[in-house]
Amino acid sequence: MYSLYFPGQLPVQDNKLLKKDLFGEVWRVADDDGLAVLRDTRPARWWLAWLARNLLRRESRALAALTGIEGIPQLRSSDRHTLLRSYMPGVPLFEGRPQEALYFKAAARLLRQVHRAGVVHNDLAKEPNILLRDDGSPAFIDFQLAWYSRRRNRLFRSAAREDIRHLLKHKRTYRADLLTMRERAILKSPSPLSRAWMSLFKPVYLFLTRRILGWSDREGAADRGRSD
């Protein structure tokens, strides 16, 4: 079905390239149900195509599990190479710089809903993956690194806790005064998973993404990542 949504076949004025990297392209497109976001892995470099398709499948599985949750893009369709999800008008966190206590409350609630549905996001350290929507509410996008699991084993719970920590880091950035004692304690205690990541994998990850993939200025936003 993807030919229906191939950007080149839609009226040019309706389509906007949101992002392009070695994994492919992300387009905002218009379809019968309104604006949508198309992830297209066909332009990916050939040596990364298998990985791009794998990430797309991951996202598709996660979004399907999150159907109906307000603040999560709704999956419209997906196939081997493309994925279409609803567009949510808003700006990324680093641009919106939310100040409202309600925003952070709603974001925490949204994350609980995601976890309850059996999904961990795994990429909430990146500010572009969290939106301040035009109506003031939060949204999470970009589920390429997400895990979907029906059984919530230890690994799942540990990753869920990391999601929570990453969200709290953003709260600390914009409204540190709103952090509760409990939230401060969570911020101070990275999970063993996170510690292992930082000491073992992060150097390799940085080498790959910065030197090989050239992501150092990825999307122009600070990655408050996993540095503390």
Contact positions vs ligand ADP (CB under 6 A): 18-19, 21, 26, 37, 73, 85, 87-88, 92, 128-129, 141-142, 144, 219
CB nearer to Mg ion: pick between 123 and 183: 123
Amino acid at 17: L
CB of 64 to ligand ADP, least distance (A): 15
CB of 101 to Mg ion, least distance (A): 26
CB of 210 to Mg ion, least distance (A): 17
**Quick one: what does residue 18 bind among ligand ADP, Mg ion, none, with the CB cut-off 5 to 8 Å set by partner type?**
ligand ADP
Backbone angles phi, psi at 15, to 5 degrees: -105, 145
Total residues in contact with Mg ion, by rule CB under 5 A: 2
Q: What's the full length of the chain, in residues?
A: 228
Q: Is 142 a binder of Mg ion (CB under 5 A)?
A: yes
Alpha-carbon span 219 to 188, nearest angstrom? 28
Residue nearest to ligand ADP (CB): 142
CB atoms within 10 A of CB 44: 21
CB of 79 to ligand ADP, least distance (A): 17
Q: Where are the beta strands (DSSP E) in 23-104?
A: 24-31, 34-40, 75-78, 82-86, 90-92
At a CB cut-off of 8 Å and minimum separation 6, what does 213 contact?
21, 22
